Structure 1
Amino acid sequence: MKKHRNNRVVVGGISALLLAMLCACSQPGTQLDATIPQIADAQSVGSSACLDCHEELGQAFEHNIHNLLADFEYLANSMDNQGCESCHGPASQHIDEGDTEKILSFGSLNAAQASAICQNCHTEGETMEWNHSTHAAYGIGCTDCHTVHDDGANKAMLSKPEDELCYSCHQDVRAKMHMPNHHPVKEGKMGCSDCHNPHGSQTRPMLRTDERKNELCLTCHMDQSGPFAFEHAPVMEDCTICHNPHGTVADNLIKQSEPFLCLQCHELHFHTNFRPNTDALAEYAQYASDSDPAKAAIGNSAQAILNKITGSGIDDKHAMQMAMMTRCSQCHPSVHGSDLPSLYTPGGGSRLTR
């Protein structure tokens, strides 16, 4: 017995070590310094002075939303630095000396510093959670996804089409989106940002909801919202218990094909491929000649099932094999909820042989 206890201690220690290693590998990167550098003694000179050297950028920037801001749209602390200088800082020393270190160049700033400049203005709405987002924690900055000097043709100023931009990091999602069943992202009918807020949210993984994950799914799949008299517990808890929203091989985005998905929670029970209790059926079949119409209907149903079994050749040896080829939703089609118990199909014929 002592040897077994020691083995458990060793196994427990190895498990704890592996868990610690996994947690260490999954931690976000080192927090970057987000302090915006200051150009000492520099003065504002206006955007027109910048165009003397950066004419090409100025032409592209002419229709950019940042260049079209009215005076009242600037924050109070940015009133002295508008146009180019609202992001790059006062440019007098840079212009006088031609020193690239005397201007805020986004190429020389780290991701947190560059994002902090954007956060001077973008502090509300979808961007307000950026500092606490997963992207920021892993050292991703605004300019990794956005092209600030865009000519204005792209409303969000993304450096690539949205799905390609997300896929450049999320390669596992790209693979799932090419599976037989997937949300219509690659078909152009929806985008990643329809479900996710890339700038951060209070829910993981950056979903566009502050409520349960199900609330996001039900914005499109309203027919599954209920309320139902008989609710399927996993549906009420989390849609992703059964579904993978990015893509699956199985139909309807379910993680495994039926009946294997259902069997993870439900034990195998009677259905059309199992050999029923023929003695019980024979007992019900005696009602076929009863004067009571209700009993006679039950008797006729039982006799019909009994006749089918007799001529089908189904035996106990092959019952399990045949069961694995049957979808649970053939009898339980309302898997998200129903006003009928067990979410089964109305009619009651199969209930006789349970």
Structure 2
Amino acid sequence: MRRAIPGVFLSAVVIAWLAASGWVLTASATPAQQAAAPETAGGTYAGTEVCLTCHTEKADSLKGTPHGRASNPRSPLAGQGCEACHGPGKAHAEAGDATLIRRFGNGGLAPRASAEVCTACHVRGTHALWTGSQHEQRNVGCVTCHSVHSPRGDKQIKAATQPELCGGCHRQMANKFYRFNHMPVREGKMVCSSCHNPHGSSNVKLLKAGTTVDQACTSCHAEKRGPYLWEHAPVTNSCVTCHDPHGSNNERLLVAKVPFLCQRCHVTARHPPTVYEGFALRNTTSANRLIGSGCVVCHVQIHGSNAPSGKYFHR
């Protein structure tokens, strides 16, 4: 009996505090509340105060999150409380059976089922794009990245920063941020969602802008977009033909050094081994065109040219 007193007393204190702050709800919900809360078929609501007789540790972790703001009419706590997400809990409370309540995470609902619970409220923005996305196809659901009770970062994510969260799965991409040339993610100037939409996208690789890789890149690099009178085939194919957007040990995020990158395509160009007549380089022992920066010394408009004589991308 002596062991039971502290637990009962703690529950009473927690419930009193919740009642004062607007957390504790009655077992009967209004029709509007019932409509806003996903239901378990045939279930009966127990009320948040019943949940907290056992789950007292969840109160403190939830009250500082957006889901725990009873003053916000869009918050679960302004509606059905714990059961807004976990479903009617009377049967679970009476039997103590964990299978009689909605659970999330390991051993809980499948990603699609848990996403249906989340998107019952999160209907705005791009959340609905998750269905059919690459993340859904790989069983990456809402609770894979987000935590309702114990978030560590913005948007209730499970890591302190977005790159840390994404890098938990996409380690190869995250490692590229440590290459000599890289997206300024480590410097805090960009995050993964600067280019990608983790919930879903009509573009490849969950890219936010456009429907192709090029359209995503040129949403920032508009000066490379064109159209050009003389187009360069690799550019019209895809930016990633020549660039690695996450990071590279070569300049300008190139996948290989110049001229070796150029020679991946231009292997039979029959270019003369020396510069053209009349353009000899002085004070050198050789007039080899690879002196300096190689191909781009002359072919400066490598993304495309609008000059009448620009098919060689000289200007």
> How far apart are residue 265 of structure 1 and its match?
2.3
> How far apart are residue 325 of structure 1 and its match?
6.9
Give 5+ residue unaligned stretches, structure 2: 1-37
Matches within 5 A, 1:81-96: 82-96=80-94
CA distance in 2, matches of 1:41, 1:102: 11
Over 3 Å counting, the alpha-carbon distance change for 1:332 and 1:42 in structure 2 is same
CA distance in 1, matches of 2:298, 2:78: 71
> How far apart are residue 50 of structure 1 and its match?
2.1
Q: Does 1:250 align with 2:222?
A: no
Q: How big is the alpha-carbon RMSD for the aligned residues of Structure 1 and Structure 2?
A: 3.1
CA distance in 1, matches of 2:141, 2:167: 16
CA distance in 2, matches of 1:69, 1:230: 61
Q: Does 1:274 align with 2:274?
A: yes
CA distance in 2, matches of 1:162, 1:252: 25
Matches within 5 A, 1:1-354: 41-68=42-69, 73=74, 82-106=80-104, 107-109=106-108, 110-150=110-150, 154-160=153-159, 161-266=161-266, 267-268=268-269, 270=271, 274=274, 276=276, 281=277, 302=278, 305=279, 312-314=284-286, 319=288, 323=290, 326-340=293-307, 341=310, 342-345=312-315
CA distance in 1, matches of 2:188, 2:275: 49
- One-letter amino acid of the counterpart of residue 192, structure 1: C
> How far apart are residue 335 of structure 1 and its match?
1.4
> How far apart are residue 251 of structure 1 and its match?
0.7
Cα deviation 1:2-47 (Å, max 9, x = unaligned): xxxxxxxxxxxxxxxxxxxxxxxxxxxxxxxxxxx97564312332
Are 1:147 and 1:157, in contact at CA under 8 Å, matched by a contact in 2? yes
> How far apart are residue 147 of structure 1 and its match?
0.8
Amino-acid identity (%): 32
Are 2:88 and 2:101, in contact at CA under 8 Å, matched by a contact in 1? yes
Determine which structure has the larger helix proportion and give its number: 1
What is the SS of the residue equivalent to 1:128? Answer: helix
> How far apart are residue 328 of structure 1 and its match?
1.2
> How far apart are residue 150 of structure 1 and its match?
3.5
- TM value normalised by structure 1: 0.67
Give 5+ residue unaligned stretches, structure 1: 1-36, 282-301, 346-354
CA distance in 1, matches of 2:193, 2:44: 40
Over 3 Å counting, the alpha-carbon distance change for 1:86 and 1:268 in structure 2 is same
- One-letter amino acid of the counterpart of residue 137, structure 1: Q
**Greater relative CO (CA pairs within 8 A, separation 6+):** 1
What is the SS of the residue equivalent to 2:154? Answer: coil
* Structure 1 stretch displaced more, 327-336 or 40-49: 40-49
- One-letter amino acid of the counterpart of residue 42, structure 1: G
1:293 is matched with which residue? none
- TM value normalised by structure 2: 0.74
Over 3 Å counting, the alpha-carbon distance change for 1:157 and 1:146 in structure 2 is same
Which one has the largest radius of gyration? Answer: 1
